[in-house]
Amino acid sequence: MAILPQETVRKKRDGGTLTGEEIKAFIAGFEGEKVTEGQVAALAMAVFFNGMSRTETVALTEAMRDSGDVLDWSDIDRPVVDKHSTGGVGDNVSLMLAPIVAACGGAVPMISGRGLGHTGGTLDKMESIPGYSVTPDNATFRRTVREVGCAVIGQTGRLAPADKRFYGIRDVTATVESIPLITASILSKKLAAGLQGLVLDVKSGTGAFMAKEEDARALAKSLVEVANGAGLKTSALLTDMNEALASAAGNAVEVRNAVDFLTGKRQDPRLLDVTLALSAEMLALAQLAPDSAAGRKAAEDALASGKAAEIFGRMVTALGGPVDFVERMDAYLEPSPVIVPVKARAAGTVAAVDTRGLGLAVVALGGGRTRPQDPVDHAVGLTDLVGLGMKLGAGDPLCLVHARSEAAAEEAARMVEAAYSLGEGAVNVGPAVIDRFG
């Protein structure tokens, strides 16, 4: 007997617990649009208000995973692991983390997304590199992971397609902020990627999707429990986003920051801490290190030896970028025509940062998007961002604005100035890594 989608909606509307069969039938109805947009919206709203049990969320995650292809990496003689971040400002960790873990023996098929709103997207950053393809054919993707050890690309249309439809409807029906639905959305794609281990970077703070720490903790706990319930070894770190993670925010400027990080030219302290902590978790999960302490040491060695930088360069070349990108990145990354400092109006110590405001300044410059179809200017952004607790004199720079025009630079400068609060006395700056789950 067929399970009617409206009955599934009714049951969840009334606070009932859906069976795995009901959830599977509802998601299966996405194909051929047997389940209407209105029914999807109604279920999303019912879940938003009534929630889902862990068992229901696991079933939803698995049903969305099974709506398309599930990758098989059995032909690769390495543990297959990945990382997912809930997004932030100046979060270019993926660009360093993938080659670090690959240098230590892991395989990292990193399927990433684009920026939306104030958060930057890994794919937009990688597309700053001339020739680099974020949509390679499957053979090139698999060959790069097998031969290089990592590949940072975009989601194919056949990976968890039900999630794409579900998310699109949630986005326009004010039902995005539901922990069970966020959990299923993130994990369905990661499960479809055929991973053996996953580490999650859940952000909390003024630049995070989950600004309140209690909400971020609830999301981290949900993600870890559901992923492990679906058979994927997973842990999560709760990390701070009360200031930009890197000292750069944008696309090409974050790629430059990442290459400087990998080659040892410049490593922002908080960025280094988060990158090494996530690398350590991944290496321990993949059993490439006995514990996270040994994993951190291995990651440090991969950086110091130059092996991680070499692998990043090989990945860029394998996916269509220049063969000498790491050595000559300034010849390839487009510079912005206007670079101006944003000066502090008075002396003081950086007491607070509206990190979301910094992200929106990048968007205003053209370095982000407010709609998925918007073009992105890869050259623009912010660099040399000062962090919490920094002492400044009057006229000292808060950052440098990289803009396409003087007018755009002036508008971004006003937004940056408004994002910084200066005060007197010492400022208590918390750790970059707040907690661990799993």
Distance CA 183, CA 86 (A): 11
What share of residues in the chain are helix, strand, coil (percent, to 5)?
Answer: 45, 15, 40
* Predicted local confidence at residue 242, as pLDDT: 97
* Predicted local confidence at residue 20, as pLDDT: 97
Residue with tokens 């509206």, as numbered in its chain: 354
Cβ atoms within 10 Å, residue 158: 13
- Position 39, amino acid: Q
Low-confidence ranges of the chain (pLDDT < 50): none
Would 61 be classed as within a structural domain?
Answer: no
Q: Are 360 and 320 members of one domain?
A: no
Q: Are 215 and 252 members of one domain?
A: yes
Angle between helices 54-65 and 213-229 (to 10 degrees): 60
Distance CA 81, CA 197 (A): 5
Would 76 be classed as within a structural domain?
Answer: no
Q: Could you list the beta-strand ranges (E) of 221-347.
A: 233-240, 249-250, 338-343
Q: Are 154 and 286 members of one domain?
A: yes
Distance CA 50, CA 53 (A): 10
Would 169 be classed as within a structural domain?
Answer: yes
* 5, 237, 280, 294 from 298: Cα distances, Å: 51, 19, 8, 6
- Position 319, amino acid: L
Residue 115 backbone dihedrals phi, psi, to 5 degrees: -75, 150
Q: Are 173 and 281 members of one domain?
A: yes
Q: Is the CB of residue 235 less than 8 Å from the CB of residue 260? A: no
Region at 118 (left for phi over 0; alpha for psi -120 to 50; beta for the rest): alpha
Q: Are 42 and 116 members of one domain?
A: no
Indicate which residues carry an active-site annotation.
82-85, 122, 170, 185, 189-190
Rounded to 5°, angle at Cα 111 from 105 and 115:
130
Q: Are 226 and 85 members of one domain?
A: yes
Q: What is the pLDDT of residues 346-404, one digit of tens each?
A: 999 999 999 999 999 999 999 987 666 778 999 999 999 999 999 999 999 999 999 99
* Predicted local confidence at residue 375, as pLDDT: 84
Q: Are 278 and 319 members of one domain?
A: yes
Q: Are 307 and 354 members of one domain?
A: no
Q: According to DSSP H, which parts of 132-206 are helical?
A: 138-147, 161-171, 179-192
Q: Are 185 and 245 members of one domain?
A: yes
Give 423's contacts (C-beta < 8 A, 6+ positions apart).
Answer: 348, 349, 351
| pTM of this structure | 0.93
Distance CA 220, CA 321 (A): 35
Among 292, 313, 329, the domain-final residue is 329
Here the CATH number for the domain that contains residue 412 is 3.90.1170.30
Three-class secondary structure of residue 221 per DSSP: helix
Region at 287 (left for phi over 0; alpha for psi -120 to 50; beta for the rest): left
Distance CA 413, CA 265 (A): 27
Among 280, 313, 329, the domain-final residue is 329
Domain that holds residue 247: 81-329
* 115, 306, 313, 375, 382 from 379: Cα distances, Å: 15, 27, 20, 12, 10
Shortest CA distance to 23 belongs to which of 282, 230, 215? 230
* 163, 169, 192, 224, 288 from 160: Cα distances, Å: 6, 15, 7, 19, 29
Here the CATH number for the domain that contains residue 117 is 3.40.1030.10
Would 63 be classed as within a structural domain?
Answer: no
Q: Are 94 and 209 members of one domain?
A: yes
Cβ atoms within 10 Å, residue 199: 28
Which element (helix H / strand E) includes 28?
helix 20-28
Distance CA 316, CA 427 (A): 40
Q: Are 172 and 281 members of one domain?
A: yes
